[in-house]
Structure 1
Amino acid sequence: MTRPAPGAHRPRTPLRFGYGTNGLTDLRLDDALSLLADLGYDGVGLTLDHMHLDPLAPDLAARTRTVARRLGTLGLGVTVETGARYVLDPRRKHGPSLLDPDPEDRARRVDLLVRAVQVAADLGAHAVHCFSGITPAGTDTDLAWKRLAEALEPVLDAATAAGMPLAVEPEPGHLLATLADFHRLRRLLDDPEPLGLTLDIGHCQCLEPLPPEACVRAAAPWLRHVQIEDMRRGVHEHLPFGDGEIDFPPVLAALADTGYRGLTVVELPRHSHAGPHHAEQSLPFLHAAAAPTAPSDPAPPPGDPSATPEGSTTR
């Protein structure tokens, strides 16, 4: 492959920005979608939850068709996300997981993901996001990896049939926590075609050995979905832009240089109490940071209108 000469112009892929509905849970779904379209977002990271296209309520297919029409009218792209906290169990956050000791509980998570694949196909989404879950206490690591691989097989079958990428997210504290863990899963599953990666830029800052922009370049061949927010090293706390340590222009330049074509979705699940404010402030920040002549550390948006944060400091 011929490499461009030093200093030669390399065409960049225009980035497409979205906002996650898990940061707009105080809004009805239609209101959230209208807000994002009015603000100029290109798309939405739609978390299937009891308040936003409930995946377990009756008439899912009909409700999905209604949302698909609305997305089309508004001109919004979509990624389907599956990180709802209590959609399967009102007492266990993100439970049950793909690693649960009870095979029936694991099957409930598998069923949710298979439903999500179908919803994504019906919406015309560009990917379905998922994660491994935390290794249960007393569970051997090798057994946890075996459970994860076996649980994902029917989901990957559904993704293959639907032509829908399944984008697994490395999540701090989970069995699959890093880019290296994602590659371990690929090898365990013999590198299936629909298996891809969700890269959370804040997670890269939190725990990856490489800086976030280098993570983007390393992950590029498998990258199907991107989540973005600010974060500090060693602290898994999703922060508004300007409140953490990430230098965003090199990150966004890496995404554009590597030809990433999916959505880059703002991920602020602990900020729904001020969701419209953060949605309004985040897009200008990203556009400024993505500009070809963007300085490092573009000016952060004005602060949160609420002086009292709500919720804990983790997702």
Structure 2
Amino acid sequence: MSVLPSQSDPASAPAPGGTPLRFGYGTNGLADLRLDDALALLSDLGYDGVGLTLDHMHLDPLAPDLAARTRRVAHRLDALGLEVTVETGARYVLDPRRKHGPSLLDPDPDDRARRIDLLTRAVGVAADLGAHAVHCFSGVTPAGTDDDTAWTRLATALTPVLEAATAAGVPLAVEPEPGHLLATLADFHRLRHALGDPEHLGLTLDLGHCLCLEPLSPADCVRAAAPWLRHVQIEDMRRGVHEHLPFGEGDLDVPAVLGALSASAYRGLTVVELPRHSHAGPHFAAISLPFLHTAAASSTGRRLPPDAPPPAAPAGEPSAIPEGSTA
């Protein structure tokens, strides 16, 4: 089970005075809501921001009038007081038959160009929204592609995206993803060195992924990655199993990782990443934030105010309909 000390028995952690953390929730976990409704929900719940996945239902990056639609979303975010990071992990936004396809590693240069175009569009959207960063990942190495070829394709494909990010002043935050070519922190550094350590190349760190496959503990991963951190995702997970879980269902020491983030002076959003829980997205959004607030307070030895909500489910439970049902 995830570690969450009680408020009366705070865990030992970095000394008080670290950077206050700001929490968001990913729209890929609210896919059954209209974007405006999702943003209003997160604001009402007290989130600081949103991880906005560009997808057909949420600010479609390929539909007409993208600039005008982006301006409307920017005004809405401003009115609600929400910060934003732009995420590009939509499953079928480019190809209705291939999950996350095409990728930056595809053998067909025209297919790679479609992914490059999507990422470049995302950089423009992020600039117009005032986003902290644009998230992306490498993709899975195609069958029959050797390692050196895959890494060359990745570096070459990301070069124009980085040029766009540099011109826009928006960091590009690459995520190590289990099963992808770039799967670990070591892989991120391989890419960084290959590209000459560009200023606008940063890191998306998914804390559950750290627990899943990194040799270091998630808290130690935060400390090791701190100089390059531009975006953080969080959820529960079990060692060796790539399955995003609600808090309390895995093994992540949440106070420890939040304490490490605070001590590292990380200033971006820490976004709850539950893409397979959209069937009960409002429920999990509601219970995740008080859990994180309590964990963050315990990590620094601070006390929550007496009227702070406990890390427990609000009135009502999520639908009992099995995930994947069309009912």
TM-score range, shorter chain: over 0.9
Do the aligned partners of 1:226 and 1:265 also contact (CA within 8 Å) in 2?
yes
SS at match of 1:282: helix
Q: Which amino acid aligns with 2:71?
A: R
For 2:270 and 2:67, how far apart are their aligned partners in 1? Answer: 26
Query: Which residue pairs with 2:266 in the alignment?
Result: 260
- Partner Cα distance (1:94, 1:38) in 2: 32
For residues 262-300 of structure 1, the C-alpha deviation after alignment (integer angstroms, 9 at most, x for no partner) is 0000000000000000000000000000002379xxx86
Query: What does the per-residue CA deviation read over 1:28-78, in whole Å, with 9 as the maximum and x for residues that have no partner?
Result: 000000000000000000000000000000000000000000000000000
Which residue matches 2:318?
305
Which amino acid in 1 is paired with 2:113? Answer: A
C-alpha contact 1:249 1:294 (8 A) present in aligned 2: no
Counterpart of 1:105 in structure 2 is: 111
Q: Deviations over 1:155-190 (max 9, x none)?
A: 000000000000000000000000000000001101
CA distance in 1, matches of 2:14, 2:179: 42
Residue 93 (str. 1) matches residue 99 (str. 2): yes
Question: Residue 46 of structure 2 corresponds to which residue in structure 1?
Answer: 40
> Are 1:270 and 1:311, in contact at CA under 8 Å, matched by a contact in 2?
no
Residues 294 and 176 (structure 1), Cα distance of their counterparts in 2 relative to 1, 3 Å cut: farther
Counterpart of 1:293? 301
Q: Following the alignment from structure 1 to structure 2, what is the Cα–Cα distance between the partners of residues 15 and 77? A: 13
Query: Which of 216, 223, 236 in structure 1 is aligned with 2:229?
Result: 223
Q: Secondary structure at the match of 1:216?
A: helix
TM-score (norm 2): 0.90
Q: Is 2:146 the partner of 1:140? A: yes
Residue in structure 1 matched with residue 3 of structure 2 by the alignment: none
Bigger shift: residues 12-21 or 302-311: 302-311
Code of the aligned partner of 2:73 = V
| Match runs of 1:211-250 below 5 Å | 211-250=217-256
| Mapped partners of 2:238, 2:133: distance in 1 | 28
Quote the residue 2:80 is aligned against: 74
Q: What CA distance in whole angstroms lies between the structure 2 residues aligned with 1:250 and 1:143?
A: 38
SS in 2 for 1:79: strand
Give the CA deviation at 1:8: 9.6
TM-score, normalising length: structure 1: 0.93
Stretches of structure 2 that go unaligned for 5 or more consecutive residues are 1-12, 304-309
Deviation at 1:23, TM superposition (A): 0.2
Q: Deviations over 1:240-267 (max 9, x none)?
A: 0000011110100000000000000000
Residue 35 (structure 2) pairs with residue 29 (structure 1): yes
Give how far 1:203 is off: 0.1
Whether the aligned pair in 2 keeps the contact of 1:110 and 1:151 (CA below 8 Å) is yes
TM-superposed CA distance for 1:310, in Å, is: 1.4
Q: Which runs of 5+ in 1 are unaligned?
A: 1-6
Shift of 1:307: 3.4
The secondary structure found in structure 2 opposite 1:256 is helix
2:174–2:203 Cα contact (<8 Å) kept = yes
Residue identity matched to 2:218: P
CA distance in 1, matches of 2:111, 2:311: 43
Q: Secondary structure at the match of 2:51?
A: strand
Of structures 1 and 2, the one with the larger relative CO (CA 8 A, separation 6+) is 2
Q: How many residues in Structure 1 have an aligned counterpart in Structure 2?
A: 303
1:198 to 2:211 alignment = no
Please state whether the residue corresponding to 1:290 is helix, strand or coil: helix
For 2:232, the aligned partner's letter is: V
Q: 2:105 & 2:17 partners in 1: Cα distance?
A: 43
Asked whether the 8 Å contact 1:172–1:236 carries over to 2, the reply is yes
Q: Partners of 1:264 and 1:9 in 2: how far apart?
A: 20
Q: Do 1:242 and 1:300's aligned partners in 2 also have CA atoms closer than 8 Å? A: no
In the TM superposition, what is the alpha-carbon distance from 1:120 to its structure 2 partner? 0.1
